[in-house]
Homo-oligomer: A and B are copies of this chain.
Amino acid sequence: MGEFMTETQHRPAGVPLATQPPEGRGTVVTGRAGPPGPADTPEAAVILERTRASVDPEMRAAVESLPPSMRRIAGYHFGWTDPDGTPASGGAGKAIRPALVLTAAAALGGPRARAAALRAAVAVELVHNFTLLHDDVMDRDTTRRHRPTAWTVFGDADAILAGDALQALALRLLADDPHPASAKAASRLADCVVELCAGQHADTALEKRRPTEVTLDEVLAMAEAKTGALLGCACALGALYAGAGDGGVRAMDAFGREAGLAFQLIDDVIGIWGDPSRTGKPVGADLAARKKSLPVVAALTSGGPAAQELAALYEAPYGQEDLQRTVLAVERAGGRDWAQAQAADRMACAVQALARAVPEPEEAGGLLALAEFVTRRSA
């Protein structure tokens, strides 16, 4: 499922990198007019840092409650320990999802709601990490947060079991939470897990199909289930803990979902045109792996000679000399323009949903900053 910045998955070594794109080409357009203002980024950074300060002790306490065998695998996955259990200094990721829970709660219910929503924030982050553990097994990804993935260290079985245990832990935290919203939150989070599973299934299934057989609607639906659903759920849980009604919860979910889709679109653009020295992600890996990412499917389904050329390239075995041709074909077939325009549209939808969810504009600033943080990354 979609990842942010330091959580970027690194492909196995040996995947060729594209040459750096021309200066400035990669700047991503979001729903807000004008170039990204440096004033906002610190706000998101402050929110994320505050979130980690609140969430980390609870996360560690929750994982500490696991039996030693599960604790060891989970602790390694979070970057807290080495495989043998000795403490390590790795970070457990950006904590964007718990930040959305806490910031949504604060936007609608102030500091009290933010404090009350802490367990829900931890639960969402545990669910996210359960899916990472399982997805890495299924996708055979070997690196996560700059370390070997858990299954490469402990084996498939242990990575699956640790993921299972983290899902259970997440839902137990909510079951034990006396807050009146906890049951609704647990129900919603469990529903979200089902949606994440269906999304991961769709992703795997789409990758097995021929490039010309995949529609844009299918890939958008998959990205919404795989990436949008949990961001939406995070926001919805924050709203629930602030006592919001059905309409407010729904609008908050829509905000997170749309922002999540915008993020995925941008992430896919960066995967093709990004600057590896800034993203830390080997450029060209998605194309080399013939991934049916959003810009690629937009290009494939655009009609015209560039789409045909791309389809032919995608049907043939990958050759390193094809990379630049493939990048150009996606671009000429409009894949990049479409993805950037679509990301801007989705951000506009997110902003509209946010206005419905949080009628006071000054209360919405934190959520807006987070949405822009995840979607505004220069490529």
Contacts and interface: CB of A to CB of B under 8 A. Distances in A.
Interface in A49-72: 66-67, 69-70
Nearest to A204: B157
A186 interface: yes
Contacts of A197: 70, 161-162, 164-165, 168
A289 to B, nearest CB: 16
Interface stretch (A37-45, A171-179, A310-318, A357-365): A171-179
Interface stretch (A100-108, A187-195, A331-339): A187-195
9 contacts: A69-B198, A165-B194, A168-B191, A168-B194, A168-B197, A171-B175, A172-B194, A175-B175, A176-B183
Interface in A139-197: 156-158, 160-165, 167-169, 171-172, 174-176, 182-184, 186-187, 190-191, 193-195, 197
Given A167-B193, A172-B187, 16 more contacts: A67-B194, A67-B195, A70-B197, A137-B156, A138-B160, A157-B200, A157-B204, A161-B201, A165-B193, A165-B194, A165-B198, A171-B171, A171-B186, A172-B191, A175-B175, A175-B184
A134 interface: yes
Contact of A187 (B66, B164, B176, B184): B176
Nearest to A131: B164
A168 B186 contact: no
A165 B162 CA distance: 16
A202 interface: yes
B165 A137 contact: no
A206 to B, nearest CB: 11
A157 to B, nearest CB: 4
A69 B196 CA distance: 12
Given A67-B194, A171-B186, A198-B70, A137 B164 contact: no
Label chain A's interface by main secondary structure: helix
Contact of A183 (B162, B182, B193, B200): B182
Contacts of A186: 171-172, 175, 186
A223 to B, nearest CB: 15
Nearest to A205: B69
Contacts of A169: 190, 194
Q: Looking at A134, A171, A184, which has the most chain B CB atoms within 10 Å of its CB?
A: A171
A123 B195 CA distance: 19
A197 B157 CA distance: 10
A171 B198 contact: no
Contact of A201 (B158, B198, B205): B158
A183 B190 CA distance: 14
A66 B195 CA distance: 9
Nearest to A73: B201
Contacts of A190: 168-169, 171-172, 175
A377 to B, nearest CB: 29
Interface string A274-310: 0000000000000000000000000000000000000
Contacts of A157: 138, 200-201, 204
Contacts of A134: 160-161, 164
Nearest to A195: B67
A175 B190 CA distance: 9
A200 B70 CA distance: 11
The 7 closest A-B pairs by CB, nearest first: A172-B190, A168-B193, A175-B186, A175-B187, A138-B157, A67-B198, A168-B190
